[in-house]
Amino acid sequence: MRRFVAGLDGGGTKTAVKIADENGLLVHTFTSGAINYNGQDEESIRLSFQDIFAGIAGACGGLDPCKQIVIGAAGVSNPTVRARVEANARACGYEGGLLITGDQETALCGAHDSEVGIIVIAGTGSICYGKNEAGDSVRSGGYGHLIDDEGSGYAIGRDLLSATVQAHDGRIPETVISGMVYEQLGLASVQEIVGFVYNKSTNKKDIAALAPILGIACELRDSAAWAIAAKHAEALASMAAPVIEKLSMQTGSLAMAGSVLLQNREIRQGFAERIKERYPELSCIEAKKDAASGAVRMALNRLEAAQA
């Protein structure tokens, strides 16, 4: 009987699913609803799980041939969340091997096509995570937008808004950032910006959506934009340093992932330069594959280990 594995990447708004056979051949990919308990209600998560496992069963000819599933999702360091995720998976009739882990682990495995390495993720939030050959793992950052997440889309969006109000007051020189912020938000005054920021319906993704403005402003050689880019490149390098040091992984490669590092040239280059200055034998690379592919690789590793 042909055997299969599945990898799930549970993002904030959707879940990416990849299914491969025991030889690693990808046989099916699809997306479903979010399974993140930080932002979804119990019923919508239950329905998403039903849809996901129906898709897995359809691709594998039932759930029995799927021998190992790895689910990477945010918030599963909380034991109650992990237990609820497992309960939902089992309620769908799945009885095979199941690993529920943090999405930073699946992202790392996808980035390096290995469970060993270091990854810095800067998207809506930010985190650095690493694991060495001995199996030791270390994380840095990723404590949420209210107290952390420097170098993230949210932090950049916040600083763009801050530059706009500071330029309005004359605390910093005029900046092209202001006009672009007003245009994107469809607003016309600092008072309206304050209303937008403190409106209870405004969430961190609304603030993070402003982040692409930074790259355009940097291309226009705006001094405020350059200062913001330098600040966050340094913040990300500082976040990576303790992971590199604690794991003694000053050589090899460090993977970069997330919209900020992949789409903002100034922050990516600034980050890579700072890493190179501190760790000359450590090179920065773009992630090889996505987190769902990493979850598949982890599932295959566990299937192989079970056979050994």
Q: For residues 197 and 161, is the Cβ–Cβ distance under 8 A?
A: yes
pLDDT at 41: 83
pLDDT digits (tens, 9 = 90+) for 175-189: 999 999 999 999 999
Average pLDDT, integer, range 255-278: 96
- Compute the mean pLDDT over every residue in the chain, rounded to the nearest whole number: 95
pLDDT over 70 percentage in the chain: 99
Looking up tokens 């992202």 gives 107
pLDDT at 267: 98
Beta-carbon contacts of 27 under 8 Å, excluding residues fewer than 6 positions away, are 4, 19, 20, 21, 59
Q: For residues 116 and 132, is the Cβ–Cβ distance under 8 A?
A: yes
Flag whether pLDDT at 15 surpasses 70.
Answer: yes
Average pLDDT, integer, range 254-273: 96
* 38 vs 59 pLDDT, higher one: 59
Average pLDDT, integer, range 59-79: 93
Starting at the edge strand that comes first in sequence, how are the strands of the sheet with 126-131 ordered?
137-141, 126-131, 117-122, 252-257, 282-286
pLDDT at 39: 66
What dihedral angle (degrees, nearest 10) is formed by the CA atoms of 182, 187, 190, 196? -110
Average pLDDT, integer, range 90-106: 96
Flag whether pLDDT at 308 surpasses 80.
Answer: no
pLDDT digits (tens, 9 = 90+) for 139-195: 999 888 899 999 999 999 999 999 999 999 999 999 999 999 999 999 999 999 999
Flag whether pLDDT at 8 surpasses 70.
Answer: yes
The count of other CB atoms within 10 Å of the CB of residue 168 is: 15
Strand partners, 139: 129
pLDDT digits (tens, 9 = 90+) for 238-261: 999 999 999 999 999 999 999 999
pLDDT over 90 percentage in the chain: 89
pLDDT digits (tens, 9 = 90+) for 200-248: 999 999 999 999 999 999 999 999 999 999 999 999 999 999 999 999 9
